[in-house]
Structure 1
Amino acid sequence: MTERRPTTFADVSAERLREVFDEQAYVADDDIVTTVLLAFRLGKPLLVEGEPGAGKTELAKVLASGFGTELVRLQCYEGLTAENALYEWNYTKQLLAVQSGDEGSVFSEEYLLERPLLRALRGGGPSKVLLVDEVDRADEEFEALLLELLSEFQVTIPEFGSVRAETPPVVIVTSNRTRALSDALKRRCLYLHVSPPSAQKERAILERRVPELDGAVAAELCRVTQRLREEPLRKPPGAAETIDWARAVAALRSDGGNGEEPLSASELRTTLGCLLKEVEDIERVDDEFLKVLLDAAGNAGEEAES
């Protein structure tokens, strides 16, 4: 029997990786499987770019859950510093030590506070999964802070020395492409671009993630989402929004007993907030465009039943 929690990911087979994706209901195309497998084998961080809601963050969660290991997540934002991301000294404890006349160094292990990046490197046992989420939200200075970790799986603390991972973590760095990332960061990573799913892939996602939803209705929802992505929206719906919408429709239908009925105008209108997250996008769906969406949904439902 294949070991669920490998000490390292270097010896994970393609078959085992596909099993994990299937078990976690994550629909992964061949390019995703191959690129993730190469990141495992080569011991390289993986930079995943794509539109919001395309499944970038979910990829890291699936790997951690599927292989039964710890997920260490660093959510990036503007102004993120080493003290928030890497380490911090326990200044209160240091001050008390100095006042008490302790002759030992106050820059030792007992005064060091771990933040996500340091936590991902330290501790024995199985590899962790480190998720550096939405790195494009952070400043370029923070990117420079990451370079040592991405290339050598170590960080240097000036007062303490270098900390190198005994078992390097699997590193997933995600970006929504709101700004260009540095060549230095890209050079240290394998690259994977996650595109919005096709109608066929999106329906397969709903079949796994929302199995209680009728198949014809799932096809209708996917067709509506695909049609909306053709519009110049401020925030086109991603796969995550489609899943949320499908769960909302399934939840509402579970009370009414109309699980197999075609999508109605009122149902689409009242649940549109699960799919569109900008008021300008919602206002774009006027009565005329609502009819266009329902026609698209109806065609998809008929194809699914035939």
Structure 2
Amino acid sequence: MTGATELPGSPAKVADALEKAGYLADAGVATAAFLAMRMRKPLFCEGEPGTGKTSLALALAEALGQPLIRLQCHEGIDASQALYEWDFPRQLLHLRAMEAASGGTLDVDAAEQSLYTDRFLLARPLLRALTTAPCVLLIDEIDRADDEFEAFLLQLLDENAVTIPEYGEVRAQTPPLVVLTSNRTREVHDALKRRCLYHWLEHPDLAREIAILRARIPGIGARLAGQVADAVRRLRELELLKPPGVAESLDWAQALLALDRDELDAEAAALTLGAVLKYSEDAERVRAKLDALLA
């Protein structure tokens, strides 16, 4: 990771910086990222899986020369997993050492104060983001967390600070650039969205997907890149259980190249469908209409 750079001065410069990091952003994404940096507001990215939400945060960190700190949300996530924990085993050993050193005359107040210090504080992603300046904080798949965790995030998004009861307030000297992502498996509450800039990410159009394939897979020919991008576009128009995203486009193209294929025909597609479709029902449905799909 290189040293932090100055923030890009326009959406066009953001797009250029992201392109150097391997992310081809359209005008909407570049503008949303620019405004998040300029206005110092979190960026809430929502969209179907595979539209590049997580990749945007990774590319922003690389483009800005800043560390990426990632919090992967899941059902039941709480403050101890996201913010901090106290190192109880070390605290217990510390108490025993103090008791032995005091000859049985342990000062309870002094012992208690000594337990809640940096020495025993285990920083989780959110706390690390507040104490790492500057950085990009990715709160990934917030829709997988529950309502209580959303409410817990509000102080951090409002104030770039959190309060630890035994320790006090921790406030970021330089606020992190926060990117939240959601696959919309459930609606995120308005209270959280109001604190953010919002952007809905679509799958890339045909021309941009071809450009992504050629940028990310230097050895791919223009013909194969066009065939893969067009076939994936048609797959997304079917009612599949899991429509393919850009990651699947890249996997499919790489699988074809690994088999020394320079053209996507029905035979090659049938052999490599596992790179682009992840459910047997989807694969069976597509195999039945491969000729029409690739026509």
Q: How does the TM-score come out when normalised to structure 2?
A: 0.91
Q: Corresponding residue for 2:103?
A: none
Q: CA deviation at 1:161?
A: 1.0
Rounded to whole Å, the distance in 2 between the matches of 1:280 and 1:31 is 35
Residue type at the aligned position of 1:118: L
Structure 1 residue corresponding to 2:214, chosen from 207, 211, 224: 207
**1:122-271, aligned counterparts within 5 Å?**
122-123=131-132, 126-253=133-260, 259=262, 262-271=263-272
- What are the within-5 Å matches in structure 2 for residues 79-90 of structure 1? 79-90=76-87
Q: Is the CA contact 1:90–1:111 (under 8 Å) kept in the aligned structure 2?
A: yes
Q: Aligned partners of 1:286, 1:91: CA distance in 2, in Å?
A: 56
Indicate the SS of the match to 1:271. Answer: helix
Residue by residue over 1:129-172, the C-alpha shift from the partner in whole angstroms, topping out at 9 and shown as x without a partner, is 10000011111111111111111111111111110001111100
Conserved? CA contact 1:56–1:174, under 8 Å = yes
In 1, Cα distance between equivalents of 2:202 and 2:10: 25
Distance 1:247 1:167 in 2: 40
Provide the residue aligned with 1:301 in structure 2. Answer: none
SS in 1 for 2:294: helix
Q: Residues of 1 paired with 2:27 and 2:65: CA distance? A: 23
Are 2:14 and 1:17 equivalent residues in the alignment? yes
Q: Distance in 2 between matches of 1:14 and 1:237?
A: 28
Structure 1 vs Structure 2 CA RMSD: 1.7
* Counterpart in the other structure of 1:5: 4
Contact 2:12 2:30 (8 Å CA) reproduced: no
Letter aligned with residue 117 of structure 2: S
- Which deviates more, 136-145 or 98-107? 98-107
Q: Using the alignment, how far apart are the partners of 1:249 and 1:85 within structure 2?
A: 40
Q: Is the 8 Å Cα contact of residues 12 and 40 (structure 1) preserved in structure 2?
A: no
Which amino acid letter does the alignment assign opposite residue 128 of structure 2?
A: R
Question: Structure 2 stretches of 5 or more lacking a match?
Answer: 100-105
Shift, 1:211, TM fit? 2.4
TM-score, length basis structure 1: 0.88
Match status 1:276 vs 2:273 = no
